[in-house]
Structures are given as structure tokens and as C-alpha cells.
Amino acid sequence: MGFEPTGILGIILLVLDIWAIVKIAQSGAEPLWKAIWIVVVIALPVLGLIIWFLFGPKG
């Protein structure tokens, strides 16, 4: 038993993850860090998104 986003919550999470990945790719960070952040967001959709929002590359 875990967190399983379904329905509208799942769609919102998917859209936010895609938005985060696009923002990461457009950032001025080093390519290695971009790749690491993208993997984190994909591997941990909810937690990765929160961590990226708090600590990820800005700009």
C-alpha cells in the first residue's frame, strides 16, 4: 500500500513533472546536473518534484 495518484491528481502530477523537466532542460546548469535532476524527477515523481523545487537549478 503506497501513494498511487489516479485520476485528476495523476494528471496534475504528470503535468508538473513534465513542466519541471522542461525547466531543468532550459536551465543554465551543467549538463551532468541537468541529467541528474531529470533522473530524480522521473524516478521519484512526487518527492523528486518537491526536492527539485526547493534545491534545483534556478534560472
Please give the pLDDT value at position 40: 94
Please give the pLDDT value at position 24: 92
Question: What is the amino acid identity at position 34?
Answer: K
Please give the pLDDT value at position 7: 81
The per-residue b/e assignment along 42-53, b for 16 or more CB within 10 angstroms, e otherwise, is eeebeebbeebe
Please give the pLDDT value at position 56: 80
User: Mean pLDDT, consecutive 10-residue segments, the chain of 59 residues?
Assistant: 73 92 92 94 92 81
37-51 pLDDT, tens digit each: 999 999 998 999 999
d(CA 5, CA 31): 30
Closest CA to 52 of 17, 13, 26, 14: 17
